[in-house]
Amino acid sequence: MEALFEKIKTSEEKDKLMEEIDILLNSLFQNKGEAFSILLKTGVRAWLSEYIRAELAKDEANPFEYLKKIKEELNSFKALKLTLAFEPTESNIEKFSYAVKKYLGEKVVIEFSYNPTLIAGCTLTYEGKYRDFSMKSFFNSEFAKIKQDLFIQMAH
Amino acid sequence: MSIDDPTMVYVLSLVIVAFTLLTIALVVLYIRLLLRYQNAKEIAEKSTGVEDLEETQKKAKAMIEEARVKAGEVITQAELFTANQKNVLLEEINKATHTYADKYQAALKFAEDEAVRMISSIPHQVKSEVMVRIEKFTSGVDTELLNAQKSIQAAVKETYQKAEVEVENYKLERLKQVDESIMKMVEEVSRRVLAKEITADEHEKLVLKALEKAKEENVLVRQEKPAEK
């Protein structure tokens, strides 16, 4: 499953995968299991279909147990909320996800949000901890200092 | 003309009744006049009372005159009387009128003298009392005026000082607002310029650097996998 989880970088991707796993799990109880084969072809993305087929064939695992395990694993994923001053490209997401997984392990997804007032940098929240590494924060503190100095000069 | 004449008796009765009524009216008038004297005593500061007496006297005379004229009219209108009878009657009426008028004048004179005597004693007492009260009132008013002047001066001074402080505070507040507005403008412009100047590559690097810093600050801490049984 490691290979599967490597592909999951954002919370949207995790949600999408969960949705597909649910479709496959439900199909196991339709038309005496025939629906599963059909939906594996038509109901999920190609790479996922290919991956599940290969995994099931390799270990001769029970599809229900296997899919249930994937779902359980996905539910244990943690989310890192990352607010950016720009809308990230695929390349940006790859790099950020790589760094996050390096620091926190595979079972973490990034929940991106966009706030242009940050100027640059980001704010992040993880496990209840919040940090503001944005340019806005830096800019505000620096500007406050400048403003204070200026007011002092004006007062004299 | 005999006194036994029924017509004459009838006319004389009428005349007597008229004079009786007139007398009652005069008595009532006299009582009212006395009551007015009493009232005049109470309001002696405003009036001496003599004017009222004179006025009453005039009114009484007018009433007598009016009664006399009316009696004459009644007699004149009586068709049964002959001119001679009328003259005799008028003469008698005039005599009676004069008699009653004299009596009335004497009573009136007496009442007037009495009232004047009563009223004339009032002004001296009242005057001294009023003067004392006026003096007290004047000094009281002066004191009150002085106090009011002082309190008004203090209130005006206080209000002025408050207004000065408020104006000063307002000026400072407005200056502060202007300064802050200028600062906000400068800040906004700087921010926009800065945001435009940062390239995509720099954005990426700043985020990666932030993640690294979060790791250093132990915000991003790897959760250890619980040992499997």
Q: Domain ends where: A14, A44, A75?
A: A75
Residue B70's CB is within 10 A of a number of other CB atoms, namely 12
Chain A: nearest CA to B140, how far in angstroms? 55
- Chain B residues whose CB is inside 8 A of the A82 CB are 207
For residues A46-57, give the mean pLDDT. Answer: 91
Give the Cα separation of B140 and A76 in Å (integer). 94
Express as a percent the part of chain A with pLDDT over 90.
Answer: 58
- Over residues B167-225, the pLDDT tens digits come to 999 999 998 888 888 878 887 887 788 878 889 999 999 999 999 999 999 999 887 65
The answer on A127 and A100 residing in a single domain is yes
Q: Domain ends where: A17, A43, A75?
A: A75
Question: Which residue in B has a C-alpha nearest to residue A101's C-alpha?
Answer: B222
Residue of A67, A40, A120, A128 lying closest to B219 (CA atoms)? A128
Q: Which of residues 134-153 of A touch B (CB under 8 A)?
A: 135-136, 139, 143, 147, 150-151
The answer on A56 and A16 residing in a single domain is yes
Give the Cα separation of B207 and A93 in Å (integer). 11
| Residue A29 pLDDT > 80 | yes
Q: Is any Cβ of chain B less than 8 angstroms from the Cβ of A98?
A: no
Distance spanning both ends of chain A, measured CA to CA = 69
Q: Which of residues 172-201 of B touch A (CB under 8 A)?
A: 179, 183, 187, 190-191, 194-195, 198, 200
Q: Is any Cβ of chain B less than 8 angstroms from the Cβ of A77?
A: no
Helix (H, G, I), strand (E, B) or coil at A124: strand
Examine residue A51 and state whether it is found in any structural domain, yes or no: yes
Strand-strand pairing, A108-114 and A122-126: unpaired
* Contact by Cβ (8 Å): A109, A8: yes
Examine residue A156 and state whether it is found in any structural domain, yes or no: no
Examine residue A133 and state whether it is found in any structural domain, yes or no: yes
| B14 CB-near residues (< 8 Å, 6+ apart) | B74
Domain total of chain A: 2
For residues A37-65, give the mean pLDDT. Answer: 89
Chain B: nearest CA to A15, how far in angstroms? 22
Give Cα separations from A104 to A119, B193, B224 (angstroms): 27, 35, 9
The answer on A125 and A95 residing in a single domain is yes
Residue of B110, B111, B102, B97 lying closest to B64 (CA atoms)? B97
The answer on A114 and A68 residing in a single domain is no
Give the Cα separation of B70 and B18 in Å (integer). 10
| Residue B75 pLDDT > 70 | no
Domain that holds residue A144: 78-150
B20: left (phi over 0), alpha (psi -120 to 50) or beta: alpha
Examine residue A155 and state whether it is found in any structural domain, yes or no: no
- Over residues A64-120, the pLDDT tens digits come to 999 999 999 999 999 999 999 999 999 999 999 999 999 998 899 999 999 998 989
Q: Are B210 and A92 in contact (CB < 8 Å)?
A: no
Q: Is any Cβ of chain B less than 8 angstroms from the Cβ of A131?
A: yes
The answer on A111 and A65 residing in a single domain is no
- Over residues B23-58, the pLDDT tens digits come to 888 888 888 888 888 887 777 656 555 566 677 778
For the whole model, what pTM was predicted?
0.51
The answer on A62 and A16 residing in a single domain is yes
What per-residue confidence (pLDDT) applies to B173? 92
Q: Is any Cβ of chain B less than 8 angstroms from the Cβ of A96?
A: yes
- Chain A residues whose CB is inside 8 A of the B217 CB are 131
The answer on A84 and A58 residing in a single domain is no
What per-residue confidence (pLDDT) applies to B53? 65
Residue B69 dihedral angles phi and psi, to the nearest 5°: -60, -45
- DSSP code of residue A118: G
* Contact by Cβ (8 Å): A135, A121: yes
* Contact by Cβ (8 Å): A84, A118: yes
Give the Cα separation of B160 and B166 in Å (integer). 10
- Chain A residues whose CB is inside 8 A of the B178 CB are none
The answer on A60 and A91 residing in a single domain is no
For residues A27-41, give the mean pLDDT. Answer: 84
Examine residue A34 and state whether it is found in any structural domain, yes or no: yes
- Chain B residues whose CB is inside 8 A of the A103 CB are 211, 215, 220, 222
Give the Cα separation of B58 and B37 in Å (integer). 16
| Residue A154 pLDDT > 60 | yes
The answer on A135 and A112 residing in a single domain is yes
Examine residue A106 and state whether it is found in any structural domain, yes or no: yes
- ipTM metric: 0.86
The answer on A144 and A82 residing in a single domain is yes
What per-residue confidence (pLDDT) applies to B36? 86
What per-residue confidence (pLDDT) applies to B34? 87
Residue type, A54: A
Q: Domain ends where: A60, A75, A90?
A: A75
Examine residue A95 and state whether it is found in any structural domain, yes or no: yes
CB–CB contacts below 8 A, A to B = 84
What per-residue confidence (pLDDT) applies to B52? 62
| A118 CB-near residues (< 8 Å, 6+ apart) | A83, A84, A85, A134, A135, A136
The answer on A87 and A47 residing in a single domain is no
The answer on A60 and A10 residing in a single domain is yes
Chain B: nearest CA to A68, how far in angstroms? 19
Chain B: nearest CA to A82, how far in angstroms? 9
Chain A: nearest CA to B147, how far in angstroms? 45
Buried residues in A2-37 as b, exposed as e (16+ CB within 10 A):
eebbeebbbbeebeebbebbebbbebbeeeeeebbe
| Residue B228 pLDDT > 50 | no
Average pLDDT of chain A is 90
What per-residue confidence (pLDDT) applies to B229? 41
